[in-house]
A and B are shown apart, each in its own frame.
Chain A
């Protein structure tokens, strides 16, 4: 066997190990949900049970945290998606000497640790008497999620044929009509994808949220506090449900994205 074939085999083996490493922890966490043990583990196996799902459903704090998470995510969508679209349109239309500086500023929330975005938001709003809670969480999260939306919309905007827009204007459309009837429909898939990503980013955020959430609780904050105090396999039941929802969403999103990639852009 030549050394090159050996290398190729080793690489394949590595890929298998890598995916095992990626999924085994999640599988173990999921399995621990069904273990009839007071503490979440798979060793020893004390019998199979479904009771942790029941305990989870009976936990009022969990439902409250879920409600807050959905509320925050809705707020983030309303704020970050329009900002992200506006920024992408701005960068696509304007040429100015200030642009490199503005571009750096626009990207900065992506390169700033989440805790710092949370801290600066918390400090800034204190002078107006606004303390931590759902409102500040929306503001803090939207600060960096808007940048993700901008990147996704920009990627599609770069493939836009601006002669279409000019043709519409030459044929007597108003700028608003050209935007509404030509550009917006073209951007729609990217905007929808960005909204899905924004929702998930918000829903799973912890580092920024922790600093701005105040006495309210989101689902991630709830899970983290459960792990440190009062850990039971009910946390695993919640984890398993979230994983299943995520997998469904991820697969649906990917399928949709690939279909669009195959279909030529209109």
Chain B
């Protein structure tokens, strides 16, 4: 590798490239992850107990999740809610992606994409906070619903999982729109036209032509959205309540309130396994590789 690099860039630059890459992949990416796993496998000991009799690898920190009903429930709730957020986001994004890629004129599409990018660049915290205002007990949504006579009393939107999920769809939607749009855009218009000429209806055209072609984009969008939803701290912290905690909040508490980093590391690793598991599943279902995802 060094030979190929120095043939192109010369020795010093090749060395600099390898040093930077090494620092990143070893010191910033790999070693911290390994250290986290090591931590998760050790008991939480006082400094003077380290290296003593009790110090050794154990799965006790992982067993905690299965022994603790509340934590286990929250773990699975986080899993299902994130799947639901992912599916909702896909359902909301797909028609827009289709419109942008195949229906809109180039000028319309360019304008729409600019309009999409603007909220995308705005802070996740601020995007979530805007829903905090809308969903508040005496906020505009309740006022409008009461004015329309749909409800008699304001609803506490901010005390359940529904508020969190609405906020997540809003916060992560563009991670779905863009990959799906890019994938649909590369579809040859003639294929759609041919399907129509041969008598396929709208639904059939999408099911048999557009969706199969857009698979890599759909897979990428789903993987990103799920990862962001399951790993979100901001949205549940702002829009949730103590009754609708997210798994990331449990992890946070182990670190900064429980003071048990080993336990926190085990939970963090479980969250990572969850995300990797979802990713592998999606990649298998859609038959796509890692190369398709980074496009």
* Residue among A28, A86, A103 with the highest chain B CB neighbour number at 10 A: A86
Q: Tell me what chain A mostly uses at the interface: helix, strand, loop, or mixed.
A: helix
Residues of chain A within 8 A of B265, CB atoms compared: 119, 123
Which of A46-54, A57-65, A88-96, A185-193 is near enough to bind chain B? Answer: A88-96
A7 engages B202 (CB within 8 Å): yes
Contact with B along A183-213 (1 / 0, CB 8 A): 0000000000000000010011011001100
Looking at the assembled complex, report how far the CB atom of A3 sits from the nearest CB atom of chain B, in whole angstroms. Answer: 8
How far is it, in angstroms, between the C-alpha of A87 and the C-alpha of B294 when the chains are bound?
A: 14
B23 within 8 A of A: yes
A66 within 8 A of B: no
Contact sample, A vs B, 13 pairs, CB 8 Å cutoff: A26-B126, A41-B138, A93-B5, A108-B29, A112-B272, A119-B255, A119-B265, A123-B265, A200-B121, A211-B255, A224-B125, A235-B129, A246-B123
A259 within 8 A of B: no
Residues of chain A from 65 to 103 with CB closer than 8 A to chain B in the complex: 82-83, 86-87, 89-90, 93-96, 98, 100, 102-103
How far is it, in angstroms, between the C-alpha of A115 and the C-alpha of B133 when the chains are bound?
A: 25
B281 within 8 A of A: no
Residues of chain B within 8 A of A167, CB atoms compared: none
Looking at the assembled complex, report how far the CB atom of B117 sits from the nearest CB atom of chain A, in whole angstroms. Answer: 6
Which of B10-18, B63-71, B178-186, B210-218 is near enough to bind chain A? Answer: B10-18
A86 engages B126 (CB within 8 Å): no
Residues of chain B within 8 A of A12, CB atoms compared: 99
How far is it, in angstroms, between the C-alpha of A109 and the C-alpha of B170 when the chains are bound?
A: 23
Q: Report the interface size class on chain A.
A: 35 or more
Contact with B along A28-59 (1 / 0, CB 8 A): 11001000000011110000000000000000
Residues of chain B within 8 A of A14, CB atoms compared: 95-96, 99
Given A32-B133, A41-B140, A116-B268, verify A250-B261 contact (CB < 8 Å): no
B10 engages A175 (CB within 8 Å): yes
Looking at the assembled complex, report how far the CB atom of B292 sits from the nearest CB atom of chain A, in whole angstroms. Answer: 11
Looking at the assembled complex, report how far the CB atom of B42 sits from the nearest CB atom of chain A, in whole angstroms. Answer: 11
A86 engages B17 (CB within 8 Å): yes
Looking at the assembled complex, report how far the CB atom of A66 sits from the nearest CB atom of chain B, in whole angstroms. Answer: 13
Partner of B251, one of A8, A107, A115, A123: A115
A116 engages B272 (CB within 8 Å): yes
Contact with B along A241-266 (1 / 0, CB 8 A): 01100110111001000100000000
A29 engages B28 (CB within 8 Å): no
Partner of A119, one of B9, B17, B21, B268: B268
Looking at the assembled complex, report how far the CB atom of B258 sits from the nearest CB atom of chain A, in whole angstroms. Answer: 14
Chain A residue at minimal CB-CB distance from B143: A43
How far is it, in angstroms, between the C-alpha of A28 and the C-alpha of B143 when the chains are bound?
A: 13
Chain A residue at minimal CB-CB distance from B167: A25
A142 within 8 A of B: yes
A210 engages B25 (CB within 8 Å): no
A11 within 8 A of B: yes
B53 within 8 A of A: no
Partner of A113, one of B103, B116, B170, B271: B271
How far is it, in angstroms, between the C-alpha of A124 and the C-alpha of B23 when the chains are bound?
A: 14
Residues of chain B within 8 A of A87, CB atoms compared: 20-21, 24
A159 within 8 A of B: no
Given A14-B96, A29-B130, verify A206-B13 contact (CB < 8 Å): no
B36 engages A119 (CB within 8 Å): yes
Chain A residue at minimal CB-CB distance from B291: A103
Besides A89-B9, A116-B268, A250-B117, 14 more A-B contacts (Cβ < 8 Å) are A15-B112, A23-B119, A25-B127, A42-B139, A83-B24, A106-B25, A107-B293, A119-B251, A146-B24, A175-B6, A210-B252, A223-B123, A223-B126, A224-B234
Residues of chain B within 8 A of A124, CB atoms compared: 31-32, 35-36
Residues of chain B within 8 A of A171, CB atoms compared: none
Chain B residue at minimal CB-CB distance from A23: B119
Chain A residue at minimal CB-CB distance from B231: A113
Looking at the assembled complex, report how far the CB atom of B76 sits from the nearest CB atom of chain A, in whole angstroms. Answer: 17
Residues of chain A within 8 A of B75, CB atoms compared: none
How far is it, in angstroms, between the C-alpha of A174 and the C-alpha of B133 when the chains are bound?
A: 61
* Residue among A3, A29, A151 with the highest chain B CB neighbour number at 10 A: A29
B136 engages A41 (CB within 8 Å): yes
B8 within 8 A of A: yes
B87 within 8 A of A: no
How far is it, in angstroms, between the C-alpha of A233 and the C-alpha of B216 when the chains are bound?
A: 43
Looking at the assembled complex, report how far the CB atom of B194 sits from the nearest CB atom of chain A, in whole angstroms. Answer: 16
B223 within 8 A of A: yes
